[in-house]
Amino acid sequence: MSTLQVPRKVNSPVDGEKDVVFSLSQIVEFLSKEAREKLASEFYEELKEIRTPQAASQLARGYKHMSNDTILELASRSPEAKKRILELAKEEAERVLQIIEALQSQEEDEEEEAEE
């Protein structure tokens, strides 16, 4: 028995589900150690289903850090976890942009002082 799979359009600039998974994978790569620790502590119960209880405990306590694969597996099993992953990534990206703006402002100030 064969089944016909119809491609599903995703309402995003990324085309197709495969690309969405790839994009999430890229986002996960940039998560900091602190973000990984937050995820582990917030989704401890879900982690116990993915990893052994001992491993989940080590992740939640910060003794070990979640791999990209573990985070992606967590995201695939829990829509809440996926949403939280995106929130944490967005918060970190906003912090990076603030730092960039501050550095650029500092450079502009230094250039103006040099011209005077």
- Does 78 fall in a domain? yes
How many angstroms separate the CA atoms of 54 and 57, rounded? 5
pLDDT attached to residue 26: 93
The range of the structural domain enclosing residue 48 comes to 17-87
- Does 26 fall in a domain? yes
Residue 45 DSSP class: H
Q: What is the pTM of this model?
A: 0.73
Confidence of residue 7 (pLDDT cuts 50, 70, 90): very low
How many angstroms separate the CA atoms of 107 and 45, rounded? 47
Q: Which residue has the tokens 């695939």?
A: 76
- Does 94 fall in a domain? no
Mean pLDDT confidence for 99-106? 93
Own/partner pairs, 32-35, CB within 8 angstroms, 24+ separation? 32/92, 33/65, 35/88, 35/89, 35/92
Is the per-residue pLDDT at 4 higher than 70?
A: no
pLDDT attached to residue 74: 96
pLDDT attached to residue 20: 57
Query: How many domains in the chain?
Result: 1
